[in-house]
Structure formats: structure tokens, C-alpha cells
A and B are shown apart, each in its own frame.
Chain A
Amino acid sequence: MIMSSNMSARATLVTNERVINAASSFNEDDANYSVLDLYDDDDGDDNSSLPEQKEILTTRELEKAKAFTSLIMADPANFDRYGFSKKGYFVSQEEYDKWWGEYSRYSERRKKKWENLLFKNRIEVHNDNPLAYPARNEELTKFVRKGIPAEWRGNAWWHFAGGQQQLDANIGVYDRLKSDCRKGAVSGKDMEAIERDLYRTFPDNIHFHKESFQSGEPAMIQSLRRVLMAFSVYDRAIGYCQSMNFLVGLLLLFMEEEKTFWMLVIITGKYLPGVYKSDLEGANIDQGVLVLCIKEYLPEIWSHIESSYMNGNGSTNQVSGPRSGEQYLSRLPTLTLCTASWFMSCFVGVVPIETTLRIWDCLFYEESHFLFKVALGILKLSESEFLESKSQKLFRQYSSYTFGGNSDPVSTFKKLKNKIKTQEEADMEILQVIQNFPKRLLNPNDIFEKVLMKKKVALNSITQEKIDQGREYVAMTRSRQRATSRPK
């Protein structure tokens, strides 16, 4: 249930206490619970309501608030509707507020359109959380790409991903796994790794924060532990892999524990097969597919990767095999060291939260090929930034060439070395651009409207079938190259 927007001028502390009460009553039995219920419908006027809020806080209350949380935690103006800190290393509070002012209006407009769509299809918007959606068609695809209303997401993801079918076929399994866990079924290694990461999952989110409002462990941390431990027993070949903590953490903000568990099963089994297994081969295969996509759809970036590769900057943990045209599928280019985590965490923490959620809307509706589209979209958007940095290098190189004096063999050799150095430098800059650029993608529409929803952008012709074929091809090529390069 979402509070009406005229309630958003309530006192800070009251809001926090509501969070406290609701959060401490959050347990395994709360079906269909979403943290969004804890927040007022944010209409973007936080700033204007601030002075009023401050007046209401008495010294005693303020001290109480401080005791509950650190000072920053006592101020909901600092946290978004999911409990994440608005401010980050790459986004200032001012930037956030300016963007949110616009984006929250966009979200409201979209929600009205969704309501109309459901009405047209005679589907009830049950308690502001529809349980059903129209059959897949082009119109619905368009709607999903423009964003599912935040309050509806949990059920919508569950619906589109086929969670219910998964659950219906496995009634009682999650409960059994939990009881197995209590009896010591979790391996020592997984248990240690999971425990280590619990408080390292969304430390800037109020629901996962250790020293926040509760004396004991936050309910979210407990759920996170149960889901990860149960999964480690359910799929022993995967156990626990870092990044799964982020997937589960985000799911838990939108749906209850058991559903979260089955969504994790769907992500790790259907969308990203083999990606989290102990050899991470599925992750390498996906990076190989991404490289093939770059080659096909982003020729400028590809030519850079290729020249970098020729200069020996391809990364490797493989011994060299017979030279084939596609060695880069085994010895993945350095760039993939950055992009691998994009896939493993399904962009959680890679892009700001609203952009992540828009990507997840499409992931559950359109399956994994959408992750490839997003990765290519980000690379395409950052292209101008990094091609610029490359052209600067070329300019510098050209200048040194012109002013470099004589042309004896030694200095020619030096120039060649300079060129390699420049290539290396350019590589470094590109890696930084690729890593930092997505962190500033605060506005989902900067990638959705500008790239992913444009028909004429070539990369949008990628289909799930094509990605699945690519995965098969890369898997085969890699295993062949491995076989031929193995010392006899």
C-alpha cells in the first residue's frame, strides 16, 4: 500500500519509526510484502518539506534517532524509495534530486498508462499490485521497456519469469531446504563465504544496514542468509558465488523469500547457465559472445580491441594454441575483465538503481539477450568518450612524429615503441571509461530511449535465439581451442 503524497511532509522520525515497525515485523510469513510499502509515494518535494520536518524534531527525539541510526540514516531525504542512499561516489545529491524531480513525473505518467492498459484488458489492479498481465505482444513489450511501475515490480517479474510454474512444480522444496540448512547441510566453505558477504550486500541501503534501527540482525540480512544457504544446498555445483548476494538482495526488496529463491533458480539456471559454477566457464562463454557482438555491431570499438590485441594486450589464462582467427574467444580481450561482472550481477551496482530496475524489467520479460543489448548499449554510449581519448592519443602520436626529427632506424623503432605505449595508454583509459561511465547512468532513459528502444540501432536486432546460438558456438570453439593447446 502506498501512502498518498500529501503525507510526505510527515516528520522524519515518524517516517523512520514506521520503517522500524514495519521492518521489525517483517518475517518469513509476510507474503507479498515489499519494502516499497514502507515509503511514502515520493513526489519529489522532499526539499520543500524539509524545514517543516526539522521543526518537529525535538532534541530528545533527535537523540533517539541518533541512537537508532547514524545521523545520515535519520534523514529520509537521503534515501530513495527502496532504501538506497541517493548520493553515491558518482552521483551527487543535487544531481539526484534534479533528475528525480523529472523521472518521478515520468514514472507517474507511465503508471497511469499501465492502469489504462490493464483496464482495457479487463485485468484488475488488485490493491495497487496486479497479479496478472496481458498476453505478450508488441504493445506490452513497449510498456515493459518503458518501465514497470515500481510498486508492481515484484509480482510482474514473478509473472513474466514464470516463477509460479517453477514454484508449483516444487511445492515444499524451499521449506525442506531451509530445514536441511538448519540441520547442517550447508558446506563449511559456502557458509563462511555467505556469512562474510551478508553485511557487504548493499551497505548503503537502510534495510541491510547493521547499525540501523534494530537491536538484532536486520530481517533482510536474515532472509538473505536463508536464501543463499538454501540455494547452496539446492545447487551444489554452484554453491555460493559472489554476485548472487546482490541478485538475492535486490529481489528481496521486491518479493518474499521463497519467491526470491525461485527467481534465483531461474536466473542461474535459465538466463545465465554455467555462469556461477566454480569454473565460471559460463561467464567466459558469455564474454566470448559479447566480443562477437561487439565485432558485429560496434566496429569502431572492435577495431580498437583488435589493434590492442595485436599488440599483445589480450588477457589470457590459456596457453597459446594454433593460431586461429578466433583466438580471442579463448584468450578474452582485457575489456571483458570489466564487462564480466556486468553479467554476473545483472547490472546491480554497475548502473544506478532505477536503471538497474528497468534492465531487470526487460530481463524477466525478454530473457538474457537483453543483458547483451544493454552491455552493447553502454559500450556504444561510452564509445564517443573513449574514441575521443583514442583520437587524442593519435594526435599526440602524430605530433611526435612530425616533430621527431630524423628518420634513422633507431628512432623509427622508438616511434614504434611509442605507438605501443600509446596503445597501452589508450587501453587504460578505455578501461576506465567503461568502468565509470555506466555508474553515471542515473536516468534510465539515457540508454533506453537513446539506444535500446530505437529500431534503427543495429544492435537491437539481437534475439534470444541468436545469443543462444552464440553461446553454443563459443562454448564449442573454446573447448576445441583448449583441447588443441593442451600439451601432449
Chain B
Amino acid sequence: MNTSVTSIKLVLLGEAAVGKSSIVLRFVSNDFAENKEPTIGAAFLTQRVTINEHTVKFEIWDTAGQERFASLAPMYYRNAQAALVVYDVTKPQSFIKARHWVKELHEQASKDIIIALVGNKIDMLQEGGERKVAREEGEKLAEEKGLLFFETSAKTGENVNDVFLGIGEKVPLKKEEEQNNANNERESNSKRVDLNAANNGSSTNNACSC
């Protein structure tokens, strides 16, 4: 019996109003609010789930979607083990934005970050909304870039938990010792700047001064 808890730092990225906060609200509180207020800056939430008898604790950074907040994004994904890149299946522009986020994550985030591409608002298709991003398009991008892929509805709850379970299953659930070793590795790989270290230049590959 393994009683250790695996923590997964997860960040949500995507264009404004695609439903990032609503996905989190559904996952954390099993709730939904029409016309949810825009997130300013970021919101931090946690949720524990049990996956195959292991407890997984998601530490979630839900970020603001408006473009000018994007400069803050590296703060959130820097140490993240997982990311949800969300788009709205009725808004083609949001899919273009999702592509950009995937690219940025591959270039800037931790190498072994697990990314799930999430097409949200599929409930709108039943309500007469027109699908503008084909399921195949999402699948194709996911396959090319090695992402998990889901289509969800935060409104009905469809597939939302599956996204998190999918991520939870991909992050190896470790026994305590392994977890500690992994922490060591993660730290040596990460872009953290150690204020005590004599020279931190070489361990820093996130050389973006913007």
C-alpha cells in the first residue's frame, strides 16, 4: 500500500473566454457558472484525486487569457509538470492561439512537461453552435506534438475529469524514495536560479529577458 501523495503542478493556458476557469471550476467544485468573470492575473487552486489507489494532488494555476497577461505565463509554467492548452471548438482563432502555446511550452517549459490539448464548449454544438475546429484538426496537432487530446464541456462536465485523470496517469506515481529522486532531478533540470550558487548562468536556459 502506497500512501505517498504525488503532487502535480499544472498550468492552464489559452485564449480569453475559452473556458479555462470553467474547466477548473468543474474539476474542483463540480460546478458551472454561465458568463464566468475573467480571471485577472491568475488563480491558484488545488484538488486531490485518487488514481489507481494513489493520491494525486493537483496544484493548479489558472491564468488570465488576455494577451497582455501572457508575459506573466512563464512564471506559471516554469516548474509545471503538466499543462492544459485550451481552445474553444467554435472559435478558430482560439485554436491558432493554442498552437502558439504548445510551441512556447515546447521551447520554454520543462522538457518532460505533459501537455493536454483541450477543445472546450462542445455543448454548444448541441445548442445550434457551429463547430469551427474539426475534431481531426485537434487530433492531428496532438499527434504531431505528442499531446494528450480531449474535447470537453465544462458546462455539462463531459470529459473534464478524464483530462485530469489522463494527466494523472501519465505522471509516474512514485513511491516516496523515487519521488525524492525525481525531485532531485527536477531541480537540477529546472530553470530555478539558486541565489546561493556561485554561478547560475549555465543552468539557466530560459534566457528570455522580455
Contact = CB atoms under 8 A, between A and B. Distances in A.
B183 A420 contact: yes
A273 to B, nearest CB: 16
A341 interface: yes
Nearest to A202: B37
Interface in A193-223: 193, 196-197, 199-203, 210
Interface string A312-349: 10111111100100010001101001101100110001
B193 A203 contact: no
A246 B59 CA distance: 27
Contacts of A460: none
B187 interface: yes
Interface residues of B, number: 49
Nearest to B37: A200
A482 B71 CA distance: 15
A234 B134 CA distance: 40
Contact of B40 (A312, A344, A421): A344
A131 B45 CA distance: 45
A485 B204 CA distance: 12
Most buried by A among B46, B69, B75: B75
Interface string A160-198: 000000000000000000000000000000000100110
B76 A323 contact: no
A136 B192 CA distance: 50
B193 A316 contact: yes
A199 B35 contact: yes
B190 interface: yes
Contact of A279 (B66, B68, B192, B194): B68
A104 interface: no
Nearest to B25: A89
Contacts of A327: 195
Nearest to A209: B35
Interface string B4-23: 00010000000011000000
A317 B74 contact: yes
A69 interface: no
Nearest to A485: B209
Contact of B206 (A196, A319, A345, A487): A319
Determine the main DSSP class of B at the interface with A: loop
A242 B64 contact: yes
A246 to B, nearest CB: 8
A428 interface: yes
B21 to A, nearest CB: 10
Nearest to B16: A196
Interface in B61-111: 61, 64, 66, 68-69, 71-76, 78
B195 A309 contact: yes
Contact of A337 (B16, B41, B207): B41
A372 B155 CA distance: 38
B66 A241 contact: yes
A203 B46 contact: no
B125 interface: no
A8 interface: no
B201 A320 contact: yes
Nearest to B15: A196
A323 B36 contact: no
Nearest to A340: B41
Contacts of B201: 320
A352 to B, nearest CB: 14
A267 B207 CA distance: 35
Given A242-B16, A317-B210, A417-B184, A310 B195 contact: yes
A323 B71 contact: no
B16 to A, nearest CB: 6
Given A197-B38, A316-B78, A417-B183, A310 B196 contact: yes
A337 B72 contact: yes
Contacts of B189: none
Given A242-B66, A316-B78, A417-B183, A487 B209 contact: yes
A338 B37 contact: no
A199 B38 CA distance: 10
A241 B68 contact: yes
Given A245-B38, A309-B195, A340-B41, A280 B206 contact: no
B1 interface: no
20 contacts: A193-B16, A197-B16, A203-B36, A241-B66, A280-B68, A309-B195, A312-B193, A314-B193, A317-B73, A319-B204, A319-B206, A334-B75, A337-B61, A337-B75, A340-B41, A344-B41, A414-B180, A428-B44, A435-B43, A485-B209
Interface of B: 7, 16-17, 29, 33-38, 40-46, 59, 61, 64, 66, 68-69, 71-76, 78, 180, 183-184, 187, 190-196, 200-201, 204, 206-210
Closest 5 CB pairs of A and B: A312-B192, A315-B75, A341-B40, A341-B41, A203-B35
Given A315-B76, A317-B72, 11 more contacts: A200-B38, A201-B37, A203-B33, A203-B35, A312-B192, A317-B71, A320-B201, A323-B195, A338-B42, A421-B180, A435-B44
